[in-house]
Amino acid sequence: MKIFLLGATGQTGSIFMKMALERDHTVTAYVRSPEKVLLYNENLTIVKGDVFSLADMAKAMASHDVVVSCLGGNNNDKETVITKMTEIIIKSMKANEINRIVTISTAGIHDEFLFVMNFIVKSFLKHTIHDHRLAAEAIISSGLVYTIARPLALTKGPLTEVYRMTPEGVPRGGKEISRQDLTHFLLSIIVKDEFKNETVGLAY
């Protein structure tokens, strides 16, 4: 599988990159700062580029099978940076006739918590959730084949490969999931071609 990866220098993206390469996939890491990629592998290509440049991204994205986005960037302010980046990704994919995207969002974009928890989450992360919701809506309405992961709180825990996945809502009573297991989910659904056109809540 030839994977075009965004967010490779982030906490989750770097784990995904390493796991994908260990499992013999080919990865192109599209990053702003190549020097931050502290990994060498013959199946890894590092491309310097701006996530807000349609021309640069579309050129780098050519001839890939799937796009994986581990991008973050919203610090709970009113700027919809994730949505803007997502719009560039969608346009780049369509320019290259790439149809499959797997991306990370956040639990809360569908108001999937119980009333009190929804209120608490929105009180602290109002703008972040709004940005992620807009980005998810852009992907869902794009016509692409998508899977949007909605993890609960992310931890530095180990890879267990044992977690719950809920296409509607979030796993009942779940509170967290490790970045390792989130990465395992992202990679496994690409390989197995599962959860197409679904947003999936993840937790232990």
Homologous superfamily assigned to 2-203: NAD(P)-binding Rossmann-like Domain (3.40.50.720)
Q: Give the pLDDT confidence of 114-145 residue by residue, as tens digits.
A: 544 444 455 445 578 889 999 999 999 999 99
More confident site: 107 or 76: 107
| Gap between the Cα atoms of 164 and 39, Å rounded | 30
| Gap between the Cα atoms of 95 and 197, Å rounded | 20
Q: Give the pLDDT confidence of 151-192 residue by residue, as tens digits.
A: 999 999 999 999 999 998 889 889 999 999 999 999 999 999
Q: Give the pLDDT confidence of 6-37 residue by residue, as tens digits.
A: 999 999 999 999 999 999 999 999 999 999 99
What pTM was estimated for this model as a whole? 0.92
